[in-house]
Amino acid sequence: MAGRILLVGQRPGAYPTIGHALADSPDGAVISIAEGTYAETLDLTNARVTLAAAQGARVIIDGTGVGRPVLRARNGSLTLQGIDLRADCGAIAVDDVELTVHRCTITGGRGPAIVVRGSTPFDVVACTLTEAEQGIVIEGCPGQLTDTTISDVTGDGVIVGLGADPTIRDCTVTGCGLRGIYVYQYARPVIEGCEISHAGAEGIAVAHQSAPVIRRCSVSDVRGVGIGFAAGCGGTVEACKVANTAQPGIAVADGATPTVTAAKQDGPVDEQLDALLAELDGMIGLPGVKAEVRALVDELQVNDWRRKAGLPVGQASHHLIFAGAPGTGKTTVARIYGKLLNAMGVLPFGQFREVSRRDLVGQYIGHTAEKTTVVFEEARGGVLFIDEAYTLSRAAGSGDFGQEAIDTLVKLMEDHRDEVAVIVAGYTGEMVDFLAANPGLASRFGKTVEFENYSPDELLGIVGRMVTAGDYQLDRTADQVLVDYFERIADDPNFGNARDARRLFESMRKAQAQRLRHLGRMPDVDELRGLLVDDVLAAATH
């Protein structure tokens, strides 16, 4: 039965290993994995399966010492959710697989953390790829690499080749031995809102007839040029910042034809601010949040004018509390806020480091302070975003090390108040408990920004954007069905706002796929793009 759930772990009736579960899994199965370390490598062919950490569980698939990737797959579909993969010879290698990787930490060893090849789209979101030869290698594929951090690789951070045209958005690429992003062999990626720093060669290198779109990216502290185009290459560079790189910051070889507009090295600060504020205004809903961010920008601008005029300027804190339910845009706004501070010269780089409790809290005395300090140092010059920060204070005084992380943060925020913007996020009520965990914590934050739940009409607009971005067409008679659905779930205590909108959209896509597979023929283009009312109803009742 498609969609059947198989359990892996120590409980009665569960499979002892992931491999055992895979051997017994039907098409479309979801394998729920209990907390633990699983010393396995997995090889899949023509399988359609989801591997997901059980709720709240830390799951590690350890393939070190074997000499091959942890996960290899050919054809089919593979989804990974909330899993750590550790390898010494590459972690994930797929060919013509619909790969989805969400909230995973991947250590690649001697090979790439992830390799995707073929013509099937992939979706890598909110992952960390580290300690590998390359972060991710994309050959021929479309797809999405979003909100992912790639760090501490010996070679290139991202490689895009063989005509691939993925979208790489809001990623951090840092600590690469060679290039941050390498685009070659007719590739056509869109690289948008990314932070590339501390590379041993170029920040972004374009070669072999490639033509990327590079938009609103920041490249800094690299040994080569910031962005380099080889002969025969084209594309565009829009509203990018290049700082502390080899000269020229943007290098265009003879015979290359990219269009370069509004680069930071040439454009005035006002253009940068206008572009970023337009990005903020382009978000659906959030009128109060947008007004608060604009007020902060206005205050910083006036302070700068007063300083230049020789007038006194009051002490300003860049640290903020983002309070509200999940899925209300807190992470996206935090990214834009960091870029605004960077554009105004308040922060030198504006890179974005998103962490949670597990990134800060250690397992023994002294370990937490060390982990927290390392994370803070990585964020200096930019934004440190701590999601669900209230979880640090939940078990204070009971042998838990969350309190140590809070106390360490308070001191670091005081010692480096002008070098970083710390943003803590979480439910409004629980953030009050967080602030009470240390007497000096509340005074470190200048303002609390409240994120309200999206209205059903706003969620309809968010789904509409997902539909357009995926090149689908939604039957407009489905609008009321969607509004009714969002009204129905809005009172659920676990209501996830845009996250629920994303889940619904993915369910709509699956419902369409099931419908089209039963046509008994190859669908035409309109049918492949069309999402019908029946697809929405099926998704809403799933």
pLDDT at residue 2 in the model? 44
Distance (Å) of CA 67 to CA 86, 154, 273, 514: 12, 18, 49, 38
Fold of 270-451: Rossmann fold (3.40.50)
The span from the CA of 406 to the CA of 394, in Å, is 11
Question: Is the model's pLDDT at 43 over the cut of 90?
Answer: yes
Q: Mean pLDDT over residues 384-410, rounded? A: 76
DSSP bridge pairs for 383: 352, 421
Among 326, 325, 387, which Cα is nearest to 359's? 387
User: Residues 6 or more apart from 501 whose CB is under 8 A from it?
Assistant: 327, 454, 459, 462, 463, 466, 486
Question: Is the model's pLDDT at 492 over the cut of 70?
Answer: yes
pLDDT band at 3 (very low <50, low <70, confident <90, very high): low
Q: Which CATH class is domain 62-265?
A: mainly beta
Question: Is the model's pLDDT at 22 over the cut of 60?
Answer: yes
pLDDT at residue 268 in the model? 46
Strand duo 149-153 + 246-252: pairing: unpaired
pLDDT: which is higher, 120 or 382? 120
pTM of the model: 0.53
186-200, 407-421, 473-487, 513-527: least confidently modelled range: 407-421
Mean pLDDT estimate for the chain: 87
pLDDT at residue 100 in the model? 96
Share of the chain above pLDDT 90, in %: 43
Question: Is the model's pLDDT at 211 over the cut of 70?
Answer: yes
For the chain, what are the domain ranges? Answer: 62-265, 270-451, 456-540
109-113, 235-239, 430-434, 504-508: least confidently modelled range: 430-434
* Virtual torsion, Cα 482, 485, 491, 494, nearest 10 deg: -90
Q: Is there a cis peptide before residue 69, judged by omega within 30 degrees of 0?
A: no
CATH number for 456-540 (one of 3.40.50.300, 1.10.10.10, 3.40.50.11540, 1.10.8.60): it is 1.10.8.60
Q: Mean pLDDT over residues 265-283, rounded? A: 73
pLDDT tens track for 414-464:
888 777 889 998 888 888 888 887 787 888 887 889 998 899 999 999 999
pLDDT tens track for 138-161:
999 999 999 999 999 999 999 999
pLDDT tens track for 279-288:
898 899 989 9
Question: Is the model's pLDDT at 202 over the cut of 90?
Answer: yes
> Could you tell me how far CA 459 lies from the centroid of its own chain?
21
pLDDT at residue 349 in the model? 64
Among 507, 533, 528, which Cα is nearest to 517's? 528
pLDDT at residue 77 in the model? 95
Tokens of 456: 């059903």
pLDDT tens track for 50-106:
999 998 889 999 998 888 899 999 999 999 999 999 998 889 999 999 999 999 999
pLDDT tens track for 302-329:
887 787 777 887 766 788 999 888 888 9
